[in-house]
Amino acid sequence: MNRVLKGMFQQRKEEKFPKQDNPEVIQTTATTRRELIKNLAVIPVLGVPLFSIAKKTGWSSFAENNLGNAMDNSLTASMMAKPISISELQSQVPKGKIKHLQISRLIAGGNLISGFVYSRDLLYVSELMKRYFTDEKVIEILGLCEACGINTAILRCDEHILRILKEYRKRGGKIQWVAQTYPAKEDMTNIKLAVDNGAVGAFIQGGIADKAVADKRIDYVAKPIEYIRSQGLIAGTACHAIEVPKACVENGIEPDFFMKTLHHHDYWSAPGPDRKDKGYSWCKEPEEVIAFFKTLKTPWIAYKVMAAGAIKPESAFKYILENGAEFANVGMFDFQIVENANAINNILNSNLKREREWYT
């Protein structure tokens, strides 16, 4: 079996672009747009029957005893809810603006779609994602996003994504693509690939921007932003480190938007003094980030908002929107999309205690 799978993966391995890790696709089918819409009618939630049986037989006691209240604040809890259908959508996700573009406040993220997942100690999860997110499943997800008013997706710029987007558009899909790009110092080849394939915006991948600033090569941030904008796209940079937007301000670099990680630390595996491994955090300095963006007038797309699935959507959205972000970029399974759309609608319609002005 391993030999067969190796053969199935070989062709995709030879087509990777850029050279960073990219998922292998093992299934591609061709259904009609009518079938796609039909499939979106009911979105099942995985694990409901099994969890019900486990509760009756006591299987869940070990996890409950060891995790305490962790499930109350995690995506796991929401996955155990009843099945969700598109008919349960309360209203379309509202939109903001970055320059001339109308962008939904909830943006579909691309890490899961591309097989990238922060699985903590679970070694099999990345492979599981690659098998779950077939071309057909991704097309279904993008269609459901559009049905919920999520009009923008942030996806990698590589052959895997380009192939899926081409098929999705052929079936009538209209979702806007903001490309995560991989400029190599002064080489803009990957950005040009995004431009040539219909991206409406592009940004520098966060790790690349973090390294450029750490290496004191701010020109590796400034030049790609300038090039993206020269092609008529909205231009930005992502980052994990707060030093990136600080360096942009200090050097007079004005992107059209920033993508900066933000989440609170109120979750079971978060950093803490009692954790030898310092815990899991994709935003190590949330208070510093919040304080910095209060003085900044650039639109802010927050990402890693659920700390890789450890924080429940309502808690994550409330935190980032109250603390200054204009948009939430969220990787989602199909069974989470309607729920997340409803959650962000509820938060936006609540009495948000937001100090930062809406810069869109």
pLDDT of residue 321 exceeding 60: yes
Per-residue model confidence (pLDDT) at position 48:
34
Supply the DSSP string of 190-244, one letter for each residue: HHHHHHHTT-SEEEE-HHHHHHHHHTT-THHHHHHHHHHHHTTSEEEEEESSTHH
Residues 164-183, mean pLDDT to the nearest whole number: 97
Per-residue model confidence (pLDDT) at position 139:
96
Structure tokens belonging to residue 155: 């996806």
Per-residue model confidence (pLDDT) at position 52:
34
Per-residue model confidence (pLDDT) at position 233:
98
pLDDT digits (tens, 9 = 90+) for 251-300: 999 999 999 999 999 988 887 766 655 667 889 889 999 999 999 999 99
Per-residue model confidence (pLDDT) at position 276:
58
Q: Which helix (H) or strand (E) holds 43?
A: strand 42-43
Average pLDDT, whole number, for the chain?
82
pLDDT digits (tens, 9 = 90+) for 71-98: 444 444 444 445 557 899 999 999 999 9
The residues of the chain that CATH labels 3.20.20.100 are 91-348
| Fold of domain 91-348 | TIM Barrel (3.20.20)
Residues 99-109, mean pLDDT to the nearest whole number: 97
**Better-predicted residue by pLDDT, 41 or 239:** 239
Q: Coil, helix or strand for 101?
A: strand
Per-residue model confidence (pLDDT) at position 84:
56
Q: Which helix (H) or strand (E) holds 97?
A: strand 95-98
pLDDT of residue 17 exceeding 90: no
**Better-predicted residue by pLDDT, 343 or 270:** 343
Per-residue model confidence (pLDDT) at position 204:
98
CA distances for 198 relative to 101, 169, 205, 217, angstroms: 14, 10, 18, 29
**Better-predicted residue by pLDDT, 40 or 220:** 220
pLDDT range class, residue 54, cuts 50, 70, 90: very low
Q: Which helix (H) or strand (E) holds 103?
A: strand 101-104
Q: What one-character DSSP code corresponds to residue 187?
A: B
pLDDT digits (tens, 9 = 90+) for 191-211: 999 999 999 999 999 999 999
